[in-house]
Amino acid sequence: MLAKRLPFAALCAVLTLVMGLPILGLNLTPQGIHIVLKSAPSATFMWIALGAAVVFLFQLFKDYLSGFWRQVPLPKASSFTPNLEGRKRIYAERAGWFLVAVLAFAMPFFASRGATALGNLVLIYVILGLGLNIVVGLAGLLDLGYVAFYAVGAYSYALLHQYFGFGFWEALPISAILAATFGFVLGFPVLRLRGDYLAIVTLGFGEIIRIVINNMTWLTGGPNGIGGIPNPTLFNMEFGRIVKDPGDTLFYKVLGIEYNSNHKVIFLYLITLVFALFTVFVIKRLTKMPVGRAWEALREDEIACRSLGLSRTGIKLSAFTLGAFFAGFAGCVFAAKQSFISPDSFNLYESVIVLVIVVLGGMGSQVGIILAAAILTMLPELARDMAQYRMLFFGLLMVLMMIWRPQGLIPMKRTPVELARE
């Protein structure tokens, strides 16, 4: 068994080295007007070797690993209920997601620069909408201050960069976790409140965060905001024309192509797309997990939950915290995309727009939210002259929705489970 896998494992390890050595091990450094090829520090080579070793061992023992994993079956799926439509629906759904993902990946290579940048903004709102959907759509907690966590995420990155020189990739998880921590700490006292009271308090909190940021001038620059936030890099390759961080290289030089300012826009779009897909995937899975079921149950009937031994504080808090996590995530991406943030980017209007996305999309429905995010982000851009009527338009839209389609554009559907026959 092992002997059989040995050649393939060796091939994989060699491939890892072949790919890793030039990409990671060689750096192009500008020296005067020339560019010279320099070898990376020896530590990098050690990491590459380690990586190759891991790949080798993984490929060698892959059967054992997956065999071990497969011993424990997934909650099943065979054939009790005549659930053919159910299974067809799941496959159709998967195919749909795949198609959308492929189209979204291909889009920037055909679309204009402006369209790509707009697509990027849509994707940020998709992440925000999906995150708020946990709180509002699934757990049924009306949160009007969601933008606060978005601001925490964005400012985390900006400040971490400004004071500690953090790059995007280091700051990303920290921003998300910091926002989640804020959600947790705030949720603790607030989640005892119900319905309208919760909405009012979260509304206040959203404003407080913005005002605090506005007034802590010594730390945040106040209304002047923070600029010079670096864009994300790809394996230490920057997408600008000149290097900003001395440790980095330049994308167009490494690839030996002509400099094109579109590269940056496309790259930003693509990583935001990856993050949005990650968000879709994680939240989809969360809804099928015990915690997701508990959120929905709590939304449906809190008293029944308590009678079954579910404690509402813990469950609400987990929804609030995870919602804040994704807001912080989106905030960090937003800061990296804009390079400049100020408290103005995080006013009540943002909370409203995200909430409208969730309600319009159909509480709980991911597809609906993605659609709504696209519509609500693109419409104002297309009709710029009407910008001052935006809020009016949203209000009208909400009223019409409540009358004609209270369940949203695409109402949430439940995944049927097939039950095993004895």
Question: Which residues lie near other proteins (CB under 8 A)?
Answer: 68-69, 71-76, 80-81, 83, 86, 282, 285-286, 289-291, 293-294, 296-297, 300-301, 303-312, 318, 414, 416-417, 419-420
Closest approach of Cβ 361 to other proteins, in Å? 17
Rounded Cα distance, 398 and 228, in Å? 38
Question: In terms of CB distance, is 74 or 382 closer to other proteins?
Answer: 74
Q: Name the minimum Å distance from CB 146 to other proteins.
A: 21
Query: Of the candidates 141, 133, 147, 151, which has an alpha carbon nearest to the alpha carbon of residue 190?
Result: 141
The alpha carbon dihedral of 299, 300, 301, 304 has a sign of negative
Contact 141, 197 (CB under 8 A): no
- The DSSP code sequence of 5-41 is HHHHHHHHHHHHHHHHIIIIIEEEEEETTEEEEEEPP
Nearest approach in angstroms of CB 304 to other proteins is 4
Alpha carbon 116 to chain centroid, angstroms: 18
Find the shortest distance in angstroms from Cβ 291 to other proteins: 6
Sign (positive or negative) of CA dihedral 97, 120, 141, 181? positive
- Determine the Cα–Cα distance for residues 225 and 264; give it in Å rounded to an integer: 23
Q: Rounded to the nearest whole angstrom, what is the least distance from the CB of residue 408 to other proteins in the complex?
A: 13
Q: Output 266 or 286, the one with its CB closest to other proteins.
A: 286
**Comparison of 237 and 298: residue with beta carbon closer to other proteins:** 298
Instruction: Please tell me the chain's helix, strand, coil percentages from 3-state DSSP, rounded to the nearest 5.
Output: 75, 5, 25
Shortest gap between Cβ of 272 and other proteins (angstroms)? 21
Residue 230: φ, ψ to 5°: -70, 145
Question: Please, which residue, 299 or 337, has the CB nearer to other proteins?
Answer: 299
Residue among 264 and 299 whose Cβ is closer to other proteins: 299
